[in-house]
Amino acid sequence: MASVLVVEDDQFVRSALIRHLTEASHTVRSVGTALEALREVAHVRFDVVILDLGLPDLDGSEALKMLRGITDVPVIIATARDDEAEIVRLLNDGADDYLTKPFSVEHLSARMAAVLRRSRAAGEAPPSSVLRVGGLTVDPLRRQAELDGVRLDLTRREFDLLAFLAGRPGVVVPRKELLAEVWQQSYGDDQTIDVHLSWLRRKLGETAADPRYLHTLRGVGVKLEPPR
């Protein structure tokens, strides 16, 4: 059972989501505007937020940025928009997943289950010791990472990806393994991995064209190794 905030202004869609989630034994609160959503997450701890983009007071993409400023709660975007560039922007801005309307309740349930598994796994303190790769230090227990002594400001997913790769320095990790271990998904789009790798590279001060730590082998996978 999870605590879910539904942010949706369409009353029909909102009622259907509330009914389905309640029948699945989740605790559900719902609002119809971005400002109400911000007030809710500021005062109530949720396990996941389902966020519509077409809100009456503020576009959902802007609401997402504001949510990320006050909480790291997993956010699933529910949108009728299917523009690839916008989806990439949403992932870059901190969305954990997205669904394109119309979607089935089974599809929503599967995406929610995957997001909740990742979130709960990330909240468990792993027993592993501090990982060091060149000037990069990753502490899984404290969920902190530093580069050359400077603390890195990473999202939950960025940290999970970095820690997983840092635990296998110099090893090429297939994308399917990254999806399974970091995203807890048996299938998915490579775009999700590429977006998070791009975001992580920026924070490590590198690019795909001029990598220092993160190296992509086309058609094979990704590896993390110290600069030479």
Instruction: List, in sequence order, every beta strand (DSSP E) within the chain.
Output: 3-7, 27-31, 48-52, 75-79, 97-100, 131-133, 136-139, 144-147, 150-151, 173-174, 214-217, 221-224
pLDDT digit string, tens, across residues 76-108: 998 888 787 888 888 888 888 888 888 888 888
The CATH number of the domain covering residues in 131-224: 1.10.10.10
User: What digits encode the pLDDT tens for the residues 53-76?
Assistant: 989 998 888 889 888 878 888 999
pLDDT in tens, 163-180: 999 999 999 999 888 888
| pLDDT for residue 123 is more than 80 | no
What are the residue ranges spanned by the domains of the chain?
3-123, 131-224
Look at residue 30 in the predicted model and tell me its pLDDT. Answer: 95
* For residue 102, cis peptide bond before it (omega within 30 degrees of 0): yes
CATH of domain 3-123: 3.40.50.2300
**Is a pLDDT exceeding 90 seen at residue 33?**
yes
Residue 125: per-residue pLDDT:
46
